[in-house]
Structure 1
């Protein structure tokens, strides 16, 4: 049969109509004014949603009310997110409400979701584009209201954790029509100045409308365009803004942003003290190795001292001289024995001339030997001077010569490393390169 020929029971007709409404409309958002609000003991809400020309019945069951941010009342202008349905027992067309939002707040949330989806599709929330924060910034920029609680919280945490880092404040309005322009202009100025190497964008908590400047597209794009890493610290931990998604890091509160942007100075001082102890230990080990090497070099130098070589060569020279004398005496004795028969030969060969030639050669050898000895002495002196200069360069006393000093409490071997160890009136021993001085503390000043 066709639909015109089919005969429905009332229940079947209402059931089919309910199914058609649900399949056609799915979830809808309807804006109107609440009237005829009924609150039975079951905890469900029943009311009428109306405008100037029409009205529709609505039901909101108890389980859906947990997400309400306000208590509905007659006369409230709201946006209802609902399923279009039919109450079968009476055949009444109605809305089954899943969520209610005040009309102003609901419009903002709708705009929030639309911009969020738009920027998400463009990739502005991608993790790959987020810049890392500096481990220890040279300067921190804070973009917030100059009179709000956020700036006081941030400065208090920064002074406690690492007071030496300068803070540059860019005062802006954080609420109102001009806030979005001032915030985006401050982000652009900070990037032009290039003084800060990390930026904190902050304000305290508030309603969605109060925080709306941080959900504006112009602010989101200014954060995305920043070459300097940006930390978003807007509102309380439960508040989320578009700025939180675009920023390189989101902090739940302004104080938390200050906590994560700088390390704890006391922890760093402890680490530095540990490094100092390691450095001192390494220096002592280096000095010990250098001292052992110097001792070895001294032993080697003594074994190769030119004086010992001169003694050995002088002894050898004496031996050669004695051998020469013996040879000359033997030769002269032999010559006398054969003087008669070799007198003429002796005259032709001129033994005295040969002796003179040998003496000249001997003198030449003596000069070469002396020159070699002097050269060796000069090389060893140069090496000794270089070793002494190297030892002097690593000596702690050389550091004192450059203007540094070692300060100890008078009568104690303890080295003073911090003003926190001192009190006014204390006596100090100060070691300089050429002596020591004793002084008394008159005043102690920080930094």
Structure 2
């Protein structure tokens, strides 16, 4: 399948493997498309200035301060020489120009006609606006701050190569805790490439499971020198870290935005080393103090408990435990004797009562009556028990009788009756 495109003269031009476009046609079309973009304002940081004597064109490289992207720029050398603010490599500028495609070399550049240097006041205003934005998003919230480990085995350090900040951190940390180890990443700490290098080093150390805390250290400098540490990309990278980050940028008055996003802000690199690792001598002294306090507390506790035991042992019940038993034994013996006497007295009294009752029963019983000369006459009825004879009418003549006297009984028979009461 082939495509048909109009030519510059209006005649269609086919494009296929059999009818390819020449390079000049492609370059011309790209140039035409880019030319339609018009003029634009661009902000960035100058990383290279090349002005050749006797030429009418100055060549510059404009780089994005947050990412590793750059753009070729051309302008009149007069724009550089006549600028109210001297333009040097590292200057932040705003340029006005138009993109151009050079068909001869196939390159794109920005042809600028106006260059404005971004002053300190404008930079500070932008930092303040970014500060308000990040604060509104909650990146400065103290509740998000992660605590530092008490004794990290490995510390990540991001700093300039052979810098005073690196020497301070390493020397102070080594003196405080000689066993501490460092994972050092040397990066640019100012200039157009600083932000990208610091973000890359931060991501590398954060992904290392052995690194327990990351220190971002740099010595003092001007506002322009510390601009990378107020970059939005770096601030968001610090907030996204899972490893605690300590910011030690500049001196005490310096206050870049990364100080607010980091978990801990250190006034100086030396202060960062003191915050990250404990002082071995101080910790040993603290341990010795705790041991002494613990031993004293234990001794006081033992002495207090010994006094309590002595007080308990001095009480009568523990000083002579058998005394109470002996007193109770004597009391029990007295009570037993008293109980025995009461029982004997009760038994004796009841025995006397029984004797009296026996005597009375004996006196009232039939045996005593028989002993006085009386007898009991019973009628003997064959086939049944003898019956006491109560009337002469119950004993007709011939009735067999049993007469009981004091010393036994006799058998008699009725010979007759005498109702006068005299015996027959």
Give the alignment's TM-score, normalised by structure 2.
0.45
What TM-score, normalized to structure 1? 0.43
Larger Rg: 2
Q: When you count helix as a share of all residues, which structure comes out higher? A: 1
When you count strand as a share of all residues, which structure comes out higher? 2
